[in-house]
Structure 1
Amino acid sequence: MKSLVAVGAACLAIILPLSALAQTPVKFDAALQKRIGVRIAPLQAGSTAASVKGFAKVIDPSPLVTLLNDTDAAREAARISKAEADRTKALQALDNTVSKKVAEAAALQAAADINKLKGLRQRLGLEWGPSFLTLGDAALSQLSSDLVMGRVTLLRIDSPAGKNLAGVRAVPLDLPGGGTLTASVMGPARTADPMMKSGGLLARVSGPQAQYLSPGLILTANLPSSSGGQGVLVPSSALLRAEGKVWAYITKDNLTFARRPVEGGIYTPQGLVVASGFSVGDRAVTVGAAALYTAENATAAAGE
């Protein structure tokens, strides 16, 4: 009789729409479970790390590179003029080889060049953010070279009303053709996005993929959120989609199976994390749920 039920289940899976008549627990002996490949495992605790969707726009690096080049030139001019001022001052004090007027002129030129360098560095902080002021001369020179060679790309990251930007250090980005990459946050942006009401972040992407991120390209940014939570993980392999709902089979004695609706919850790569309806340790069918559903409905139909 049991073999007839199994055969009838396979036939009904093809010719009949499955019904919701058999939501009460049903029994399937070990032999039938073995035939349809049922596997059972206890449910584990799960957690979710929800994210807020933002936008990352690739920045044209030309203004920054120009500013860094001007700063390099100003630094060298300040070094030379400072050395000349020191030389003429020493000579004038030693034996009046140069006049006091020439020494003072050299000192004024050195002061002017130093102030010009100071102004360019202030522009760097005002236009590109305080994080750039923490970089040394060698690091800034390397950044300029990397931007020109396409080894580094700069991005501006915004979110609606600036949500979830504070304290972020790394932001996963979705690439247009599929796949992801991670941008390292450098610091806050200096100007706001009035449309999104977002203060914004400046970030960088390094490596081979950087050269394919052209200025103006907009990517989806996945910003971490504190709205995640704890619950019970119902693995993807245990989820059964039928009758417009999501279900999972639970058993207490490995013979009697109850089909429970999986309601609410948050999808993760591993499955659904739910806050109610299931408990850690519940024994769930992780392989063979669809076959059990077919057999369940066949059994219900045979009993009518």
Structure 2
Amino acid sequence: MTVLVIAEHDNASIKSATLNAVTAAKACDADVHVLVAGEGAAAAAQAAAQISGVSKVLLAEAPSLKDGLAENVAAQVLAIAGNYSHILFPATASGKNVAPRVAAKLDVAQISDITKVVSADTFERPIYAGNAIATVQSGDKVKVITVRGTGFDAAPAAGGSAAVDTVAAVADSGKSAFIGREVTKNDRPELTAAKIIVSGGRALGSSEKFTEVMTPLADKLGAAIGASRAAVDAGYAPNDLQVGQTGKIVAPQLYIAAGISGAIQHLAGMKDSKVIVAINKDEEAPIFSVADYGLVADLFTAVPELTKAL
């Protein structure tokens, strides 16, 4: 039995979500292979070969694979799928784009967002915004799975010595074309990989106040900045900062929520954080039910005081 992990990368390095997927793959008690599909991605393949627990890296290179177009990456996966019992994708925007295409073509049921491997054919995944955990058993010959990164520790990025084999790249599907990419540049840690996150909610009242109150605290802590969906919908923060069921799932060492009431959709995205600090003037706010430390106070007073004290 062999498991294939589809690497998420930028053609030069491996992204952290891949490390979590490798840990899930190892829990299936099988050999772990990693597919790196891209162009000029030899460096990424070498980085994948260093991941502890990986026994082989498959490198597929072609101009059509450079930008990770879902149609082409899915075709590349399908070209080698017959050699594997499990195909694992990180549950990221990219993984969620490719995995359903692979599952559909293989005529199997995708198993989404797993947080635990019980056995080679049985997995746990959250449902109802994380309020219940479903145990799913699959009888499919090939199991197509997306892995929630916060459910698994990252595999060590060094210590491995896997062989790198080159595989034939598939032809361009011609179904889509890469036009351009607008990348948000940020000096802060990436939200899903940050060890400390400070998040603001609708109570901040405006984008100016959001920046004025949250940025100094994040600067002091070296933290990433997050936001509730309500704050994003109100235009106080950009969409890529949204934490929650319809945003990014995070599990930092420290999560500070200021002015966030704690709607179930937001809690689903951050309740696995190691330490949760909530600041809200409503003592009945649901956020306090998951908080390790709660402060009933006006955030416009409490947050600046906290920043000053650090």
TM range (shorter): under 0.3
- TM-score, normalized by length of structure 2? 0.20
* Structure number having the greater strand percentage: 1
User: Does 1 or 2 have the higher relative contact order (CA < 8 Å, sep 6+)?
Assistant: 1
Question: In terms of Rg, which structure is larger?
Answer: 1
- TM-score, normalized by length of structure 1? 0.20
